[in-house]
Amino acid sequence: MKITKDIKYIGVNDREIDLFEGQYVVENGMAYNSYAIIDEKIAVMDTVDARFGEEWLKNIENALGSRKPDYLVVQHMEPDHSANISLFMETFGETKIVSSSKAFTMMKQFYGSDYADRQVVVGGGSTLSLGKHELNFVTAPMVHWPEVIVTYDSLDKVLFSADGFGKFGALDADEDWACEARRYYFGIVGKYGAQVQLLLKKAAALDIEIICPLHGPVLSENLGYYLDLYNTWSSYGVESDGVMIAYTSVYGNTKKAVELLAEKLEECGCPKVAVNDLARCDMAEAVEDAFRYGKIVLATTTYNADIFPFMREFINDLTERNYQNRFIGFVENGTWAPMAEKVMRKMLEESKNITYAENNVCIKSAMSEANKAEIESLAKELCK
């Protein structure tokens, strides 16, 4: 696949994987992207997952014909992108490897060698000439590992963005970009919003026409859409108008309250109500919804003088990703000593710019008529 006249796609699709990074469900697989820049000298951009080394080498051979690569640029050391460094360096004995100093340290840790006699160490402001194409390196620490660099080709105006602008799903998956890119971003990169903001500022100084990420499709149209979404996500802004409800329910009583709340929100004209049963849904999708919408309701039971485990996991997932700038309401349930709201507030106390609803709901065992009125008041407050 040609990206430009001189840049070819040489990555692979993975339709075998079920869990990415051991935790994210990927029903439509994954793409491990790699690219070849073919000029007077040839640079290969990153490798692929360990299981696809031979397929990747065939892709390189098909792209280059009788020529051999001069450089392997390693932007990111996670094994889904770096696992075939050793295979590549053994296959192409004259190739030099281009990466950051931190990456070479990690390389030795992962693969037993840092290729000291074949290193080209680069950092922010470094350049590498291939002929007509000049590669400009930009540091991107903690997006989302400390060694990351991204690469800008000034001739074709292409940004090789490492894990930035990536998504779940193989390249032949017919699915919406934003949904799986959002789940990918908040699951994997979400904690590092400040660092993504710094990278976006660096990218704003570049004339970019194409973005080549390490996962997901090459982006070449309407780049403002993708950049705006990344700006919203990394600044913890609100992307969509609506209310997200996350709940757990043991015997169905809390669920009934959530269903009534959702009904009342719709009656009040709420444009979107996203309900997530935390015991059954994909937790990563629930996290995605919590960051997408500006208002959230947490509904759970008191459990062992704490809260139900799935709710605890969910709130931990939010706070470790710097959850902030949101409006939060509570529905708690407890038969003899309800304290779920107190526990949830305590878990969220380090989160910035959180506004709490005034009309929260405390159920004692089963929903009462008074609770129904409280739920209606909460719905009205959320719809203001």
Specify the pLDDT at position 214: 98
Distance CA 7, CA 1 (A): 9
Mean pLDDT, rounded, of the chain:
97
- pLDDT over 70 percentage in the chain: 100
Supply the pTM of this predicted model: 0.94
Specify the pLDDT at position 382: 97
96 and 134 share a domain? yes
18-47 pLDDT, tens digit each: 999 999 999 999 999 999 999 999 999 999
**What is the rounded average pLDDT of the residues 213-220?**
97
Residue 372: give the domain boundaries.
240-382
Taking 90 as the threshold, does the pLDDT of residue 1 lie above it? no
User: Does any domain span residue 2?
Assistant: no
252 and 217 share a domain? no
Q: Tokens at residue 313, please? A: 């996991």
249-261 pLDDT, tens digit each: 999 999 999 999 9
Domain count, the chain: 2
122 and 12 share a domain? yes
Distance CA 256, CA 303 (A): 18
Specify the pLDDT at position 314: 98
266-325 pLDDT, tens digit each: 999 999 999 999 999 999 999 999 999 999 999 999 999 999 999 999 999 999 999 999
229 and 249 share a domain? no
21 and 143 share a domain? yes
* Torsion 74-80-86-92 (CA) sign: negative
Distance CA 327, CA 330 (A): 10
